[in-house]
A and B are shown apart, each in its own frame.
Chain A
Amino acid sequence: MSTMGKVIVVTSGKGGVGKTTCTANLGSGLAQQGKTVVLVDTDIGLRNLDLVLGLENRIVFDLVDVIDGKCRSFRQALIRDKRFENLQILASAQSRDKDAVKPEQMKSLCQELKGAFDYVLLDCPAGIEMGFKNAIAGADEAIVVTNPEVSAVRDADRIVGLLEAADIKPIHLLLNRFKPNVAQKGQMLSVEDVQEILNLQLIGMVPEDERVVHSSNKGEPAVLDSKSKAGLAYRQIVHRLIDPGAPAWAPEQPGLMSKIRRMFTVNLGSQPN
């Protein structure tokens, strides 16, 4: 209670890059490490975070109810996670629009929340309009989620400009849905390319993993799935969030065939590449 928590906004600009999945996974990962965490779905009108975590049936009050003062305190609207009792979520309103909330109101809510939790993660809506402005109003730090695609990186750059203008720092880069095999063949932007273009500190890379969809389907975050590569990446990112000095993880995972291929090319004495 004595120390204030951190408010981190998870944002991207472009939709569909995995903001909600990241928020759910990082939140669960932080809770697994014993931190007290609250996840706030700020995407008013498009509620999703509850579904990814399998908490869709427990919602009574939402973000707009809290801001409008329809419940006694924010605590009444928080939904406790199934797996971790130190993880709570505040769902967004489904029947309202983004103008139902003002940046100043979000700011004071974030201030209240960070007095009660170690981490406040805000799941930001796509775009740069009112919803985005609301989401970043009370944020201390940001995680910019992007994919190794031109459109996602371009939008991320725009978002970074707006975050810098709002004096939010540090801004962490999370490269999601990365395909090491494809990047190795030069058919996709590499981790270094994206990092160089956006000129941000990389907090981690999450490989494309079918198990992520599988976990979302079941409402169980991949970070808790010990077999999932993405889950492992999320756990690494959680460590880096807690301790910024922890090493970044950029695994090179060549497939079996390329290993064999490399073995032969060396033996044949020809120049690889």
Chain B
Amino acid sequence: MEFLLRLPLLGWLFGGNKEKDVSREAARNRLKSALVGDRCSVAPGMSESIRKEVLDVLSRYMDVDSQSLQLRLQPDGESMRWSADIQVVRVHRQAHLPEQALVDPSQRKKRPKRNLRGIRWRRSQEDQPSVEEKSA
């Protein structure tokens, strides 16, 4: 059966979409990559603002050489790859605690204490000595 389809006329008649010309795929992928580049280059101040925010995030965890930061957007196979490259000077000692690192050390609040059952102690209005009781 297969070899019959190789015959030009029969192949054309019955083979139909057997051999797909996939130029559509090529068009779609190339276009998508091109638009990633276009949109990045066109957006005003986008790369500058990414640069600033990346440095902001990194400096919560480590001292970096901000001058050495390189941001790159380049084709990688069928898609586009965004990459950043930076020189690290030193890493903060508490760097393994991301949720603390997100908060500015001066603003850091103490964690609420929990009882054994894991329920957070919460002083309700009733528990607190009211102003009247105090005065009495």
Residues of A within 8 A of B (CB): 149-150, 153-154, 157-158, 161, 183, 185-190, 193, 197, 257-258, 260-262, 264-265, 268, 270, 272-273
* Number of interface residues, chain B, beta carbon within 8 A: 21
Using known A-B contacts A264-B14, A265-B16, A272-B16, determine if residue A183 contacts B24 with beta carbons closer than 8 Å. yes
Judge whether A197 and B39 touch: CB under 8 Å: no
- Give the docked Cα–Cα distance between A273 and B17 (Å): 6
- Give the docked Cα–Cα distance between A154 and B21 (Å): 22
Using known A-B contacts A154-B34, A158-B38, determine if residue A185 contacts B27 with beta carbons closer than 8 Å. no
Q: How far is the CB of A39 from the nearest CB of chain B, in Å?
A: 30
Q: How far is the CB of B6 from the nearest CB of chain A, in Å?
A: 14
Using known A-B contacts A153-B31, A185-B17, A258-B16, determine if residue A190 contacts B39 with beta carbons closer than 8 Å. no
Tell me if B131 counts as interface (CB < 8 A to partner A). no
Tell me if B110 counts as interface (CB < 8 A to partner A). no
Q: How far is the CB of B34 from the nearest CB of chain A, in Å?
A: 6
Judge whether B17 and A268 touch: CB under 8 Å: no
Residues of B within 8 A of A (CB): 1, 13-14, 16-17, 20-25, 27-28, 30-32, 34-35, 38-39, 42
Judge whether B31 and A154 touch: CB under 8 Å: yes
Q: How far is the CB of B60 from the nearest CB of chain A, in Å?
A: 33
Q: Which residues of B contact A272 (CB under 8 A)?
A: 16-17
Cross-chain pairs A/B with CB under 8 angstroms, 17 sampled: A150-B31, A153-B31, A154-B31, A154-B35, A157-B38, A158-B42, A186-B17, A186-B21, A186-B22, A187-B21, A188-B23, A189-B28, A189-B31, A197-B31, A197-B32, A197-B35, A257-B13
Q: Which residues of B contact A154 (CB under 8 A)?
A: 31, 34-35, 38
- Give the docked Cα–Cα distance between A95 and B25 (Å): 45
- Lowest 6 CB-CB distances: which A-B pairs, in order? A261-B16, A186-B24, A186-B20, A150-B31, A187-B21, A193-B28
